[in-house]
Amino acid sequence: MHPIITIIILEGMSDTDLLTLYDALWRALIQSDIGSADRRNILASMENIETVLHRRRTWWPSPGR
What is the predicted pLDDT for the residue at 31?
97
Whole-number pLDDT of residue 37 = 97
Task: Give the pTM.
Answer: 0.85
**How many Å apart are CA 19 and CA 57, to the nearest integer?**
14
Asked whether the beta carbons of 35 and 21 are under 8 A apart, the reply is no
| Burial of residue 14 (number of CB atoms within 10 Å: 0-12, 13-18, 19+) | exposed
Output the pLDDT for position 57.
76
pLDDT computed for residue 59 by the predictor: 59
Q: What is the CA radius of gyration of the chain?
A: 11
Give the residues of the chain that fall short of pLDDT 50. none
